[in-house]
């Protein structure tokens, strides 16, 4: 079990480290950026694995980064941990006026935010992963009423975009057989645009179905990795080299793996 402590204890040790440890004292907002990124990925992995012990530790590491930046800012006279906490409390109160204000009905956050936002993408970090960015853009558009009422519209849109991809490939198919290597041919750029439209439509379908596309793809990645590693193991047991066995042989083993999972 972890030793129990308070947030005040954590803040006190962070301030002490800044005062007495050379490495901690030397850090800046800029130098800490890679560590925050790393800790966020490690926390995400613990969440994905449903590992409570790892989750607790990784949340502590993320908290360390938050306090680190807050104390550095405090030393600069910019703001401090109390202002960070105040920002959080104030934002939560503004986001829930039906609990902390005078509103009697709950209003979706994106609808409230749209009243003060200057443009669709305002405030979205440029470095957001593409799947999440698409999801957030669609959420924001939905916040001002630009949305289908249910999943039927997105389903039809996915089918429409898929047909446009088929048509593009049928039109210039010979130019797309690049074995996974991007082509400089302008016709390939046209296909890329159509495929992008298809992906965007699938993201919207995920959103309307109540599923984040990044989580859905993460699950699919894990499933593919698990199944293909089973294919590799079965191939080795049969004296096959996956690099030379060929698609037909590997596909038969793939079907076996799927059947075994379902069974």
pLDDT score for 178: 57
pLDDT in tens, 145-158: 999 999 999 999 99
Q: Is the pLDDT of residue 122 over 70?
A: yes
Asked if 232 contacts 256 with a C-beta cutoff of 8 angstroms, the reply is: no
Give the range among 14-23, 90-99, 185-194, 245-254 with minimum mean pLDDT. 185-194
For 28-49, what is the mean pLDDT? 94
Using DSSP's 3-state secondary structure scheme, residue 113 falls into: helix
Query: For residue 2, what pLDDT is reported?
Result: 59
Give the tens place of pLDDT for each residue, 210-244: 999 999 999 999 999 999 999 999 999 999 999 99
Q: Choose among 202, 171, 200: nearest CA to 188.
A: 171
3-state secondary structure of 142: helix
pLDDT of residue 263: 83
pLDDT tens-digit readout, 132-143: 999 999 999 999
User: Is the alpha carbon torsion for 215, 221, 225, 226 positive or negative?
Assistant: positive
- Across the range 115-126, mean pLDDT stands at 87
Q: Where are the alpha helices (DSSP H) in the chain?
A: 7-20, 22-26, 29-49, 52-76, 81-95, 97-100, 109-114, 130-143, 152-172, 186-208, 213-237, 247-262
Q: What is the mean pLDDT of residues 50-54?
A: 95
Enumerate residues 6+ apart whose C-beta is below 8 A from 106: 98
d(Cα 33, Cα 81) in Å, to the nearest integer?
18
Q: How far is Cα 96 from Cα 106, in angstroms, rounded to an integer?
A: 8
Instruction: Write the burial class of residue 205 (CB in 10 Å: 0-12 exposed, 13-18 middle, 19+ buried).
Output: buried
**24 — pLDDT class (breaks 50, 70, 90):** very high
The half-sphere exposure of 218 on its side-chain side, counting CA atoms within 13 A, is: 13
- The reported pTM is 0.75
In the chain the domains, ranked by start, together with CATH numbers, are 7-95 (1.10.287.1080), 148-211 (no CATH), 216-262 (no CATH)
What Rg, from alpha-carbon coordinates, does the chain have? 25
pLDDT at 174 over 60: no
Rounded to whole angstroms, how far apart are CA atoms 83 and 66?
Answer: 12
Q: What pLDDT score does 182 carry?
A: 61
């Amino acid at each position: 079990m972890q030793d129990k402590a308070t947030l005040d204890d954590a803040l006190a040790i962070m301030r002490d480290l800044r005062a007495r440890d050379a490495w901690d004292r030397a850090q800046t907002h800029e130098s800490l950026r890679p560590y925050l990124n790393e800790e966020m990925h490690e926390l995400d992995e613990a969440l994905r694995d449903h590992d409570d012990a790892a989750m607790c530790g990784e949340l502590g590491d993320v908290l360390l980064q938050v306090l680190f930046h807050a104390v550095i800012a405090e030393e600069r006279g910019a703001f401090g941990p109390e202002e960070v906490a105040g920002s959080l409390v104030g934002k939560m109160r503004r986001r829930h006026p039906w609990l902390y204000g005078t509103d009697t009905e709950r209003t979706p956050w994106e609808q409230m935010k749209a009243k003060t936002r200057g443009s669709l993408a305002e405030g979205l970090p440029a470095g957001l992963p593409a799947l999440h960015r698409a999801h957030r853009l669609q959420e924001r558009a939905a916040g001002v009423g630009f949305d289908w009422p249910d999943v039927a519209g997105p389903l039809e849109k996915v089918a429409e975009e898929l047909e446009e991809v088929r048509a593009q490939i049928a039109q210039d198919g010979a130019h797309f057989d690049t074995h996974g290597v991007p082509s400089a041919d302008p016709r390939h750029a046209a296909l890329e645009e159509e495929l992008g439209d298809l992906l965007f439509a699938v993201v919207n379908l995920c959103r309307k179905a109540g599923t984040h596309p990044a989580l859905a793809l993460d699950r699919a990645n894990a499933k593919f990795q698990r199944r293909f590693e089973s294919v590799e193991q079965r191939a080795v047991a049969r004296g096959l080299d996956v690099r030379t066995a060929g698609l037909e042989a590997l596909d038969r083993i793939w079907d076996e793996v799927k059947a075994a999972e379902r069974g």
